[in-house]
């Protein structure tokens, strides 16, 4: 089972909604986690569309970044009894204790442990935990194996560069093989931050280069990532022209891909080039994210996960 960890940025939420609406992901093998950063209509609609369709989506009820740092009792979707909750265990014991009235109402809970010290607080979480999500480490596995509890691995597998133009020096690189070996490593599930990465930056700026990040399965079914980077990178002007340069490289590569790497998002990229349309960088990130989640869902389902 794959639990992609996303923030509540607009393009990430729109990616999740479109994947659901177009039936491009399967709940049997993929259940997203969203850490909200702002209370927006898109966030509410995305969450409710998943719950209304009975497709599991975990929302972090003690977010640590952005403007959505709310106490659990004020969370706008917690009036729903069918909500799936994720809890960041790096919170203080006092705040976690305040979550108990909400979490003790028979709701499904997914604790997320990033540091070994967070295990001290694990006794605050009620019994209806199906899975514990942890950063890699033998202490985590040892702790939960003694309690006979299921454990999933959480990693940041995206190698983030300081500038988009720097990806031109690493156009094709290893991304992840957790989907192949997480069972062998003693885990029941795996999770990552997709092509976004764990680091959170509030706001953005006009980039000198445009980079499109596309993951793909190689011949051994390892996940690799290609970075298609613009060539005209002397200043911040003409983002549409830069996008066209990067997009031409992506479309040329996609002509010969195998079925396992094909996706609805790649077809949309091809259509953008055919129509000479620049949709904005948010849409570019949305399509790259959709592509990753679609081919991962398809791979896991086809391989009996």
Closest by CA to 153, choosing from 125, 97, 193, 122, is: 193
Quote the mean pLDDT of the chain: 87
Q: How confident is the model at residue 204 (pLDDT cuts 50, 70, 90)?
A: low
The DSSP annotation for 127-181 comes to: S-BS-EEEES-HHHHHHHHHTT--EEEEE------SSGGGGGG-SEEEEE-HHHH
Q: Using CA atoms, how far apart are residues 217 and 175, in angstroms rounded to an integer?
A: 10
Q: Using CA atoms, how far apart are residues 37 and 7, in angstroms rounded to an integer?
A: 7
Given a cut of 60, whether residue 155 has pLDDT beyond it is yes
Q: What is the pLDDT of residues 101-110, one digit of tens each?
A: 666 666 778 8
Given a cut of 70, whether residue 128 has pLDDT beyond it is no
Lowest mean pLDDT among 52-61, 78-87, 232-241: 78-87
How many other CB atoms sit within 10 Å of the CB of residue 167? Answer: 22
Q: Which residues constitute the domain of residue 266?
A: 5-302
Lowest mean pLDDT among 2-6, 50-54, 154-158: 50-54
Residues counted in the chain? 305
Relative to beta strand 223-229, strand 172-176 is antiparallel
Q: What is the pLDDT of residues 246-269, one digit of tens each?
A: 999 999 999 989 999 999 999 999
Q: How confident is the model at residue 277 (pLDDT cuts 50, 70, 90)?
A: very high
Inter-residue contact 305 to 29 (CB < 8 Å):
yes
Query: Domain total for the chain?
Result: 1
Q: Using CA atoms, how far apart are residues 142 and 125, in angstroms rounded to an integer?
A: 18
Q: What is the pLDDT of residues 63-82, one digit of tens each?
A: 888 776 654 455 555 566 66
Mean of pLDDT values over 133-139: 81
What pLDDT score was predicted for residue 72?
A: 47
The DSSP annotation for the chain comes to: -B--EEE--HHHHHHHHHHHHTT-S-TTTB--EEE--S--HHHHHHHHHHHHTT---EEESS--SSS----GGG-TTTT-TT-EEEEETTS-HHHHHHHHHHHTSS-EEEEEE-SGGGGGGGGGS-S-BS-EEEES-HHHHHHHHHTT--EEEEE------SSGGGGGG-SEEEEE-HHHHTTTTT-SEEEE-TTT-S---SS----SS-EEEEEEE-TTS-EEEEEEE-S--SSS--HHHHHHHHHHHHHHHHTT--GGG--HHHHHHHHHHHTT----HHHHHHHHHHHHHHHHHHHHHHTT-
Tokens coding 9? 């940025």
């Amino acid at each position: 089972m794959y639990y992609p960890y996303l923030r509540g940025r607009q393009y990430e939420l729109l990616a999740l909604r479109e994947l659901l609406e177009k039936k491009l992901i399967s709940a049997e093998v993929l259940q997203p986690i969203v850490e909200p950063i702002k209370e927006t209509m898109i966030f509410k609609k995305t969450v409710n569309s998943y719950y209304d369709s009975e497709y599991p989506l975990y929302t972090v009820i003690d977010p640590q970044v952005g403007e959505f740092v709310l106490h659990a009792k004020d969370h706008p979707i917690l009036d729903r009894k069918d909500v799936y909750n994720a809890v960041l265990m790096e919170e203080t014991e006092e705040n976690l204790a305040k979550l108990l009235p909400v979490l003790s109402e028979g709701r499904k809970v997914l604790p997320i442990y990033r540091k070994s010290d967070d295990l001290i607080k694990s006794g605050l979480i009620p019994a209806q935990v199906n899975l514990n999500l942890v950063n890699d480490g033998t202490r985590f596995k040892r702790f939960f194996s003694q309690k006979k509890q299921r454990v999933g691995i959480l990693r940041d597998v995206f190698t983030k560069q300081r500038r988009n133009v720097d990806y031109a020096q690493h156009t094709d690189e290893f991304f992840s093989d957790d989907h192949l070996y997480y069972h062998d490593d003693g885990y029941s599930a795996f999770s990552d931050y997709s092509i976004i990465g764990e680091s959170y930056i509030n706001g953005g700026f006009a980039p000198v280069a445009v980079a499109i990040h596309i993951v793909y399965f190689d011949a051994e079914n390892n996940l690799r990532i290609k970075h298609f980077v613009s060539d005209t990178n002397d200043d911040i002007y003409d983002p549409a022209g830069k996008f066209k340069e990067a997009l031409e490289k992506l479309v040329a590569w996609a002509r010969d891909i195998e079925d396992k790497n094909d996706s609805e998002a790649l077809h949309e990229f091809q259509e953008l080039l055919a129509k000479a349309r620049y949709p904005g960088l948010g849409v570019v990130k949305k399509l790259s994210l959709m592509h990753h989640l679609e081919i991962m869902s398809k791979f896991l389902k086809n391989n009996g996960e």
